[in-house]
Amino acid sequence: MTQPLFLIGARGAGKTTVGSALALALGYQFIDTDLFMQHAAQMSVAKMVEREGWLGFRRRENIALHTVSQPSTIIATGGGMILAQENRWFMRQHGTVIYLHAPASVLAQRLEAYPQDAQRPTLTGKPIAEEMFEVLAAREALYREAAHYVMEGTADPQQVIEQICAVLQYERVK
């Protein structure tokens, strides 16, 4: 058993796509914290935010992070997981943190191309492209602070998986 692997990054960075395929490749369990919370609460992220506000949602997110952090688990975190210093510290201390970096323009294109009914509500009320530029600008330093490694999220998912496997192999040899 090995420590958990946390995938962080903005919405649309590929955390769920890469994480689920990586879990299959490594024989790990895969958990997406947003899906975990939705299942546990029996409501969408949008409904959680509507009922409890962003503060209540962030509280749920913190609880979910601690609940799902198990050995041999790949955890795709919500884009805002890194907003809390406690979460950044927890992930760094209890696992390996990989930041899937992608430019705001790519994130916006992905989110516009594959909209989801239960997608998070807008943080700013602005069009998705404008919002992604603002959100990424505000969070970039926090993603980098939390990360042990930064991977290019615009690469083909298989390439990203191979890069992560190489990093994990390096971690084991260190």
Q: What is the CATH number of the domain that holds 165?
A: 3.40.50.300
pLDDT tens-digit series, residues 83-104:
999 999 999 999 999 999 988 7
| Cα–Cα dist 170/174, whole Å | 6
Q: Are 145 and 49 in contact (CB under 8 A)?
A: no
The span from the first CA to the last CA of the chain, in angstroms, equals 17
pLDDT tens-digit series, residues 27-42:
999 999 999 999 999 9
Q: Is 117 annotated as a binding residue?
A: no
The b-or-e profile of 38-48 (16+ CB within 10 A means b, else e) is: beebebbbbeb
Q: Is 95 annotated as a binding residue?
A: no
Q: Is 153 annotated as a binding residue?
A: no
Residue 113: predicted pLDDT: 66
- Of the candidates 75, 39, 76, 74, the one whose C-alpha atom is nearest the C-alpha of residue 60 is 39
Domain ranges, residue 68: 5-173
Q: Is 122 annotated as a binding residue?
A: no
Residue 120: predicted pLDDT: 53
Q: Is 34 annotated as a binding residue?
A: yes
CA 81, chain centre distance (Å): 7
Q: Is 139 annotated as a binding residue?
A: yes
Q: Is 51 annotated as a binding residue?
A: no
Number of domains, the chain: 1
In the beta sheet, which residues pair with residue 92? none
Q: Are 121 and 11 in contact (CB under 8 A)?
A: no
